[in-house]
Amino acid sequence: MTFGFAPASEAASTSAASANRLLEPAEWAAAGIPLLRNPREVVSGLHARHHPQPATAVIAVLDPDERLRASASFVRRPAPADGWMFRNVLLAQLRRVIPHDLRRRTPVRTAVLLYCREGDARWTEEDGAWMWGLRDACTLHGLRCGAYITLTRDGWQVLGEGRGGRRPHSGSAPEPFDTSEAPPPPPRTGGAASEVLRRAAAAR
């Protein structure tokens, strides 16, 4: 498991507080974050649904079968990266779209975060603040903390897993929404109406 690091000028912290509210790559990798079975499908589905632009975050809740149960997107305000603030906004979005699971002994649903940003796919302190915020928001909402995914001009990257792809990327056009969903059921055949239509077509 490998991580890239942005130059110090890019990753420099703009707030002393933010340094205490971020997760380093090694901490994230050691946290036991569950792996996505099909990250490409998850990323493509969220991109088709929300079409995020740079500075847009998409929080999504998946069931045990990795089906999407709820999601919300929002634009990050221009302010120093602070895990505490990120936690608060993520928690507010979760409370808006799905009930909490705090009554369960063990979390069943998993929250994942897709963040579209400028720059390349290497880890930055902003990513570390989002990781801190995601982990804390999940704890407070009774969810498992899932993957943190960046979407940049280079494509998408699941940080901590070493998995990624070139498409979609931060400049991708939105795909038709139905391509990210299950195919529609085939039309029903048989019955009296179908037989009438078949005979009419044969008589032409």
H or E element that contains 164: strand 163-165
At residue 173 the predicted structure's pLDDT band, cuts being 50, 70 and 90, is confident
Give the integer Cα–Cα distance in Å for 101 and 108.
8
User: What mean pLDDT is reported for the chain?
Assistant: 82
Q: pLDDT, tens digit, for every residue of 20-64? A: 699 998 899 888 899 999 999 999 999 999 999 999 999 999 999
pLDDT, residue 177, reads 52
What confidence tens digit (pLDDT) does each residue in 57-90 have? 999 999 999 999 999 999 999 889 999 999 999 9
Average pLDDT over residues 190-199: 42
Asked if residue 17 has pLDDT above 50, the reply is no
Provide the whole-model pTM: 0.77
Q: Is the predicted pLDDT of residue 192 greater than 80, yes or no?
A: no
Half-sphere exposure at residue 136, Cβ-oriented, CA atoms within 13 angstroms: 20
